[in-house]
Amino acid sequence: MSNAVKLALAGEGGQGVQSVAGILVEAANDEGREALYIPNFGVEQRGGVSVAFCQISDERIGSPKFKFADLVIALSDRAVRRTKQYVDENTVFIYDSSVEGVEDDLPQKAKKILAIPALDIAKKELHPRVFNVIVMGAAIAVTKIVDMEQAKSALEKKLGYKFEQDPKLRELNFKALKKGVELVEGKV
């Protein structure tokens, strides 16, 4: 339809998909591009799969939700089942390799399906807290919606006050971002 890059990020509450989506669109907006972001929401304050719908473009964006995404990232089994509806033959579908029991639920006709060990790497090499930043790095590497410097400054904008208190945190986040890029580089 339009030339907007469409992105659906889904996970369990607390996995941080909404914050990643927020930082991504903020970065795009800061670049002067058009960005639109809408979270799913329902009656329950907690629980349920959390989905972030993002679109980034050089021109005005159409309807806030879309039929098919360019990239879907699902971080839990429920998220896989919930988001496969947004996948068609042009969609890259990424899920975390720690998600089990979804073999039969993976989308049928994706352009590419890729499992990445983001959670595992976050736990073993970095910190569980930066799991979503790894995911953000992967999303940027696949879609090229913002350049890496812009992404860093968006992180800085969002977490700067924490970075001030603990400069190691900055390094950790930037490392996570880079790791995310490496996980998908050359694979999609």
Choice between 150 and 176, CB closer to other proteins: 150
CB of 97 to other proteins, least distance (A): 26
Q: How do strand 34-39 and strand 49-57 relate by DSSP bridges?
A: antiparallel
Choice between 66 and 131, CB closer to other proteins: 66
Choice between 40 and 97, CB closer to other proteins: 40
CB of 124 to other proteins, least distance (A): 27
Short-list 163, 183, 173, 181, CA closest to 130? 173
- The C-alpha torsion from 70 through 1 and 38 to 121, rounded to 10°, is 10
5's enclosing H/E stretch is strand 5-12
122-158 core/surface letters (b: 16 or more CB in 10 A; e: else): beeebeeebbbbbbbbbbbbbbebbebebbbbbbeeb
For 118, other C-beta atoms within 10 Å of its C-beta total: 30
CB of 66 to other proteins, least distance (A): 6
Choice between 43 and 186, CB closer to other proteins: 43
For binding to other proteins (CB under 8 A), which residues are involved?
1-2, 22, 25-26, 29, 34-47, 61-68
CB of 45 to other proteins, least distance (A): 5
